[in-house]
């Protein structure tokens, strides 16, 4: 028979606080989780192409397509049925020119699509319109190009104002300038206020980096920069962290309702800095390259793609993002619904 003395264990040998106690079961882990990812956090990017009757698959972005107008509405309805609260719309026009005039044409692909989505969905889904010119310009840059090949910042702002008004008239709840022109938020805010659309919000691509992770997106929107050029002269240098916060502060001062960091997974430090500093919602864009890498590795059996996608989105939320624009939106929403 074991004596009472034999049961006495010296307390110093064991930790008073065992961190594993609260990890023991799934229910305990849920109870004490510090970060929660919900379908309410998700914004789904969608692509719509002018002049097509059927959706076209995007090879570098498995599961995504360039939508026809009809398939766009069907997909938006499906996303709404999953509880996703917002979509962001990118257009592929029937024609391109030097200034991207289809971007503000009332009959342009995005304006028509916005009107059809509004008619089909009412106010049940937030309609965000990407506001840029690169999909619409023959040279692939995000603004007016001078004779020497550089982008004219201030001439571009006037065109952004036209685009913002066209998107607002068509039914956008939010316009999202992504060109990284200095003063773009202030110019757009002034145009919306002066044009009778003060209720339309601005989601500023405030800290958009000149990243190597945008390749699949450019496939999706059929954009090639003329002469093998790049956007390093106006998108942010990936080596700069403090500069990103300076960009965000300027956009908030100009009237941004939401600020965005892009890309997301590779810039969690910037998301954390921004969320700690500003008092507006912070969006993060889980970009096409981040999506494609997960899909490619999962296809080869190297990773559990679903688990990695969820882990990435939780990490973005943990860093401080209020919402996440992600190509994983639909599949993650389905998994969250169980």
Q: Which residues are catalytic?
A: 208, 262
Q: Whole-angstrom distance between the N-terminal and C-terminal Cα of the chain?
A: 52
Contacts of 161 (CB under 8 A, 6+ apart): 187, 188, 190, 191
What is the rounded distance in angstroms from the CA atom of residue 277 to the CA atom of residue 305?
33
| Residues 141, 134 contacting (CB under 8 angstroms) | yes
Residue with tokens 């919000």: 201
| Residues 26, 308 contacting (CB under 8 angstroms) | no
Q: Which two tokens stand for residue 153?
A: 């910042």
3-class DSSP assignment, residue 259: strand
What is the rounded distance in angstroms from the CA atom of residue 146 to the CA atom of residue 226?
13
The rounded Cα 83 to chain-centroid distance in angstroms is 17
Cα distances (Å, whole numbers) of residue 223 to 17, 87, 139, 163, 287: 56, 21, 9, 19, 16
The rounded Cα 32 to chain-centroid distance in angstroms is 29
Rounded-to-5 percentages of helix, strand, coil across the chain: 45, 20, 35
What is the rounded distance in angstroms from the CA atom of residue 81 to the CA atom of residue 325?
18
Q: Report DSSP state, residue 140.
A: -
3-class DSSP assignment, residue 164: helix
| Residues 207, 264 contacting (CB under 8 angstroms) | no
Q: Is the peptide bond before 182 cis (omega within 30 degrees of 0)?
A: no
């Amino acid at each position: 028979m074991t004596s009472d003395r034999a049961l006495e264990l010296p307390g110093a040998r064991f930790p008073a606080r065992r961190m594993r106690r609260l990890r023991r079961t799934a229910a305990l882990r849920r109870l004490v989780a510090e970060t929660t990812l919900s379908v309410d956090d998700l914004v789904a990017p969608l692509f719509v192409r002018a002049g097509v009757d059927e959706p076209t698959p995007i090879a570098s972005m498995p599961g995504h397509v360039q939508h026809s107008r009809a398939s766009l509405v069907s997909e938006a309805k499906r996303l709404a049925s999953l509880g996703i609260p917002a979509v962001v719309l990118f257009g592929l026009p029937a024609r391109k020119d030097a200034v991207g005039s289809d971007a503000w044409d009332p009959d342009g692909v995005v304006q028509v699509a916005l009107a059809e989505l509004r008619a089909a969905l009412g106010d049940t889904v937030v309609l965000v319109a990407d506001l840029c010119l690169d999909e619409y310009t023959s040279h692939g840059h995000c603004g007016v190009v001078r004779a020497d090949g550089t982008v004219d910042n201030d001439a571009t702002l006037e065109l952004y104002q036209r685009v913002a008004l066209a998107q607002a008239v068509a039914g956008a709840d939010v316009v999202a300038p992504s060109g990284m022109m200095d003063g773009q938020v202030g110019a757009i805010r002034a145009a919306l206020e002066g044009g009778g659309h003060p209720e339309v919000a601005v989601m500023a691509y405030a800290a958009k980096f000149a990243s190597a992770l945008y390749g699949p997106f450019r496939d999706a929107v059929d954009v090639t920069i003329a002469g093998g050029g790049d956007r390093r002269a106006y998108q942010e240098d990936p080596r700069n962290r403090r500069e990103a916060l300076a960009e965000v502060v300027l956009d908030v001062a100009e009237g941004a309702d939401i600020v965005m960091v892009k890309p997301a997974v590779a810039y969690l430090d910037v998301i954390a800095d921004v969320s700690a500093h500003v008092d507006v919602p912070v969006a993060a864009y889980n970009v096409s390259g981040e999506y494609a890498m997960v899909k490619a590795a999962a296809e080869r059996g190297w990773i559990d793609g679903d688990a990695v996608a969820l882990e990435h989105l939780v990490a973005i939320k943990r860093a401080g993002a209020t919402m996440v624009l992600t190509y994983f939106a639909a599949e993650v929403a389905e998994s969250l619904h169980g």
